[in-house]
Amino acid sequence: MEFFFKPRGIALVGASSNPYKGGNSILKNLLNGFKGGIYPVNPAYTEVEGLKCYPSVLDVPAPVDLAIVFVPAKLVPDVIRECVQRKIPGVMIESGGFAEAGSRGKSIQRELKQICDETGIRLWGPNCMGLVDFISKKVFSFVSPTLWNYEFIRGNVSLIVQSGMLSAGFIIDTMSHGVMGISKVCSIGNKVDVDECELLEYLLDDPETAVVGLYLESFANGRRFIDICRSSSKPIVVLKGGKSVKGAAAAMSHTASLAGNSTLISGALAQAGVVEAVDFKQMLDLCRSLSMYPEIPLKITGGVAILTYSGGAGIVSSDFIDKTTLSIAELSQKTKDALEKIYPEWMPVANPIDLWPAIERGGSEMAYGEAIKAVCDDPNVDAVFLHYYAGGFALNFDISSLVEIARKSNKPMFCWLMGEAEKARKFQTNTQNLGVPVYRELYRAVECIAAVFEREKPEKRDLPASSRSPISKKYKTELEKSTGALDEYISKKILDEYSIPVVDEKIASSVEEALDTARSFGFPVVMKGILPGEIHKTESGLVRLGVSSGEETGKVFAELNMKMAAKGKILVQRQMEGGLELIAGMVRDPQFGPCVMLGLGGIFTEILKDTVFAVAPFGHGEALSMIGRLKSQKLLNGFRGYPPVDREILAQILVRLGDLGCGNLEIKEIDVNPLIAGENSIVAVDAVILPG
């Protein structure tokens, strides 16, 4: 990757003297910032912007280790072949008209991939905006040269953006507003060769980058991406576009249906310790927050002290904080005593700390100064959320002294800002230069505080030595010959081979066998009709619960046989009483491979839609973290008659489901629904395995 970021010389193929052409913008940007050799290439010119212009890449002098190509798509393959001949190791293709433009463009892009595979030349793009390095002022892009009218604010946040125009928007927006520093912006386009994984690895190793933010529309290699993220000590923020999958409702199993949306991607990212964003501005705000506080040194609870000039703003801040894992800090008696000294006698001390009465009494310098000292000395306070109004309300204290007190106390400070436009801009710039993030919306501020405190490094991979071996030959044969879903009896036999507990059950070939089985289990029992390929037994009337006598057993046996026209099997099961219904499964995702799912089952499946995913294989610790990501923790802990779920047993089941998926490529999906979590056990009551 070094020749993309630190080339000695650059050949610009498609250089132009026309100021309205991208080839001219790229050249002007190179001339403004790049210190190495610049060699325009265009047979139509002998000189461009005062530089000698060469008819071909083959004619440019050494050293050249990067070519930037901006010519029509149909000409690009021949240009790349010339770059191979010239032994240029890397090419940025910034022109469009490839896979995004229809069948002809797809054909050209396939040709580029073939050249790349055959020769080893590295291709960045096509259909991208290239690279902008704020630190060294290298602009390898056709972004408008007007960007040089703005200050290059150096920072430690780097971005990888799949959308070309969006990356240009990020650049101009951040530069013109002047409230965020950037290290590098990489626009990767169609990813014919160089993809987000390689760039992420480079940036994570880059001393000028502390946080990486990515906007992606697809993953070139989902499993590799997750592995890179989970091994990173630097914060990573991802905004994923296009997370929904049309047609998910037509999936064969609940697991696949639930995977056909953003939940699987979110689960994979959370498992890898990635902070997920939901819009562009939020992604940037999260990045700059994490760049200022990349790691909270102690395992703390996130107790926040709110210092405000407005009671209403304090109340709304509290409402937002209550929706996160943060908390409003319970002030110590020492802190309350200190605050009482600056308040008028009638003012009670509470958090949020409304300082306006203290400001009226002794001025903002005294009020904020004494308050910051008190809360930063309070062991119950983990963070300070300061509210400021620029340009009025007699708030004219020295913010730098407050920041210094917070820094010495190791208490992260965050600031919400309102006020007159120019004065607010100046305050925001000055405060962020001091290392304190400033936000213009209360909710965004709380989101970012929560992201800083909630960000945890992913669980250390504790992959067990447990078997990911293939299932036994007889069940492998069933998978190979099956044209649809395996029936639940065989599916559960496969689960049992992987030590996943299943309900006691037996196939009954006669009424007598059904009676014997029911009596051995004890009434009531469950009776089911099993037809090949039929996975919706309840809807087909093939499930009978609460069969409570010998007479009823015979009657149900006959009814199920009649419904199946004597072509199916009768399954008799022990009836599981009570317990929370869960749903678990495995789906083989095209981007991430085998992924395990866990959610609330039964009536809660559609009502709560509370599901989590993790990329397999994983160990016990990761499985426990996965369980902890479910929103319905109260139900898991025991609620209104439900016994608490044994998380240790559940974690073992999830690990084994992942092992089953990883060890048997013939299995496309596993759907365990329900998985009954009772008083002392968790068992699979119904299951479906789909080959594929």
Could you say which of 422, 437, 454 is where a domain stops?
454
Q: Virtual CA dihedral for 278, 282, 288, 292, nearest 10 degrees?
A: -80
Q: Helix, strand, or coil here: 10? A: strand
What's the pLDDT band for 537 if we cut at 50, 70, 90? confident
Which one, of 200, 218, 219, lies nearest residue 209 by Cα? 200
Residue 217 resides in a domain? no
Q: Mind giving me the DSSP string for 375-405?
A: HHT-TT--EEEEEEEETSTT----HHHHHHH
pLDDT digits (tens, 9 = 90+) for 403-416: 999 999 999 999 99
- Cα(36)–Cα(63) distance, rounded to whole angstroms? 9
Residue 249 has pLDDT above 50, yes or no: no
- Cα(683)–Cα(674) distance, rounded to whole angstroms? 9
CATH number of the domain to which 353 belongs? 3.40.50.261
Q: Contact at 8 Å (CB) between 255 and 264? A: no
pTM of the model: 0.89
Which one, of 574, 618, 622, 582, lies nearest residue 603 by Cα? 582
Sign for the pseudo-dihedral over CA of 514, 517, 519, 522: negative
Q: Helix, strand, or coil here: 353? A: strand
Residue 37 resides in a domain? yes
Which one, of 12, 259, 299, lies nearest residue 130 by Cα? 12
Residue 645 resides in a domain? yes
Q: What average pLDDT does range 254-268 have in this prediction?
A: 67
> Do 202 and 109 share a structural domain?
yes
Residue 596 resides in a domain? yes
Q: Contact at 8 Å (CB) between 585 and 238? A: no
pLDDT digits (tens, 9 = 90+) for 512-527: 999 999 999 999 999 9
What are the CA-CA distances from residue 550 to residues 511, 527, 529, 542, 546 (Å)? 9, 12, 18, 19, 12
**Domain tally, the chain:** 4
Q: Contact at 8 Å (CB) between 480 and 691? A: yes
Q: Mind giving me the DSSP string for 620-662?
A: HHHHHHHHHT-S-HHHHT--TTPPPP-HHHHHHHHHHHHHHHH
Please name the helix (run of DSSP H) or strand (run of DSSP E) that holds residue 212, with its range, or none: strand 211-216
> Do 183 and 54 share a structural domain?
yes
Residue 671 resides in a domain? yes
Q: Helix, strand, or coil here: 413? A: strand
Q: What average pLDDT does range 264-291 have in this prediction?
A: 93
> Do 112 and 205 share a structural domain?
yes
pLDDT digits (tens, 9 = 90+) for 38-74: 999 999 999 999 999 999 999 999 899 999 999 999 9
CATH number of the domain to which 150 belongs? 3.40.50.720
pLDDT digits (tens, 9 = 90+) for 66-104: 999 999 999 999 999 999 999 999 999 999 999 888 899
> Do 430 and 338 share a structural domain?
yes
Residue 249 resides in a domain? no
Residue 469 resides in a domain? no
Average pLDDT, the chain: 90
Range of the domain at 610: 580-691
pLDDT at 484: 85
- Cα(538)–Cα(542) distance, rounded to whole angstroms? 6
CATH number of the domain to which 638 belongs? 3.30.470.20
What are the CA-CA distances from residue 623 to residues 51, 139, 255, 656 (Å)? 61, 44, 17, 10
pLDDT at 258: 45
CATH number of the domain to which 547 belongs? 3.30.1490.20
> Do 599 and 508 share a structural domain?
no
Residue 461 has pLDDT above 80, yes or no: no
Rg of the chain on CA atoms, in Å: 31
